[in-house]
């Protein structure tokens, strides 16, 4: 995909048929933020609220992410936030739409959109939030549990790293949730220092 502008990319994204996920979602959710952001965060895929609003990281995990950014001293409006997969994948249970993890094929099919965003933005630091983003950016053998917090060079950014997805913190039980949040904020502080 050749380098374009973010608005052009956003329009074209709505017509993507590279995998089947467009058939069930409300809309594709492009990345959002500053065009020349020094930090780009990549999540997994839109959730229920993101699918309805067309904006990334606005649901429960997004609100927790905002709180963590705030504690780490990162201004979200100065960053760019996007997802590895641009359409919401889910299964219906009654009236609820439950998140389903994208397949390796769907991650691969959507990768050119992520690459196109990054080619335009050219961030200093690229941060993968969770396994799906890390798989898209670093490849299928990458393990966040092993590599979390390590900063490496990448074709899309001079510094690239990974941490957990904020939804993993929401799923942590009791006191563990608080500890996971603190650890996440520490990872974000390292990101800020590297930017
Ligand atoms: S998920 Fe990505 S590859 Fe699949 S249809 Fe949507 S934009 Fe295209």
Residue 10 tokens, joined: 């956003």
**185-189 mean pLDDT:** 98
Looking at the structure of the chain, the number of domains it has is 1
Ligand 1 lined by 26 (C-beta under 6 Å) = no
Over residues 6-28, the mean pLDDT reads 97
Q: Is residue 183 situated within a structural domain? A: yes
pLDDT, tens digit, for every residue of 121-140?
999 999 999 999 999 999 99
Q: Assess contact for 154 and 137: CB atoms under 8 A.
A: yes
Sign of the Cα pseudo-torsion (188, 114, 35, 67, in order): negative
Is the pLDDT reported for residue 175 higher than 80?
Answer: yes
pLDDT at 2: 55
What's the gap in Å between 60 CA and the centre of ligand 1? 23
Q: How confident is the prediction for the chain on average, in pLDDT? A: 96
Instruction: Kindly give the distance from the C-alpha atom of residue 93 to the centroid of ligand 1, in angstroms, as a whole number.
Output: 23
Q: Answer yes or no: are the C-beta atoms of 164 and 95 closer than 8 Å.
A: no
Total-model pTM = 0.97
Query: What pLDDT does 3 receive?
Result: 59
Is any ligand 1 atom within 6 A of the Cβ of residue 61?
no
Torsion of CA 108, 113, 119, 122, to 10 degrees: -90
Report the separation in Å between the CA atom of 101 and the middle of ligand 1, taken as the mean of its atom positions.
14
Q: Is residue 186 part of a domain?
A: yes
Residue 192 near residue 69, CB atoms below 8 Å:
no
The Cα 72–Cα 187 span in angstroms is 9
Residue 4 pLDDT level (bands cut at 50, 70, 90): confident
Find the domain containing 95 and state its range. 6-194
* pLDDT at 109 exceeding the cut of 60: yes
Q: What is the Cα–Cα distance from 138 to 134, expressed in whole angstroms?
A: 6
Tell me if 134 is assigned to some domain.
yes
Report yes or no on 1 lying in a domain: no
Please write the tens of the pLDDT for every residue from 30-82: 999 999 999 999 999 999 999 999 999 999 999 999 999 999 999 999 999 99
**Mutation to probe ligand 1, out of 15, 22, 50 (largest number of atoms < 8 A from CB):** 22
CATH number of the domain residue 162 falls in: 3.40.470.10
| 106 falls within a domain | yes
**Of 35, 64, 191, 193, which is closest to residue 128 (Cα–Cα)?**
191
The verdict on the CB of residue 18 being under 6 Å from ligand 1 is yes
Residue 75 falls in which region: left (phi positive, over 0), alpha (psi -120 to 50) or beta: beta
Residue 67 contacts residue 166 (beta carbons within 8 Å):
no
Which residue has a Cα nearest atom 6 of ligand 1?
A: 87
């Amino acid at each position: 995909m050749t380098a374009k502008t973010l608005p052009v990319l956003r329009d074209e994204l709505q017509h993507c048929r590279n995998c089947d996920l467009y058939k069930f979602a409300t809309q594709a959710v492009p990345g959002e933020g500053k065009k020349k952001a020094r930090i780009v965060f990549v999540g997994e895929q839109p959730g229920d609220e993101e699918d309805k609003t067309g904006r990334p990281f606005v649901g429960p995990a997004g609100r927790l992410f905002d709180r963590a950014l705030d504690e780490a001293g990162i201004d979200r409006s100065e960053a760019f936030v996007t997802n590895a997969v641009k359409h919401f994948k889910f299964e219906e249970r009654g009236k609820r739409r439950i998140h389903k993890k994208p397949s390796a094929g769907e991650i691969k099919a959507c990768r050119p959109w992520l690459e196109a965003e990054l080619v335009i933005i050219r961030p200093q630091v690229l941060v993968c939030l969770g396994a799906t983003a890390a798989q898209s950016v670093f490849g299928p053998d990458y393990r966040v549990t092993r590599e979390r917090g390590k900063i490496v060079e990448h074709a899309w950014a001079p510094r690239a790293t990974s941490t957990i997805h904020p939804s993993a913190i929401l799923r942590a039980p009791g006191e563990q949730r608080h500890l996971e949040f603190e650890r996440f904020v520490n990872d974000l502080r390292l990101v800020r220092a590297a930017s």
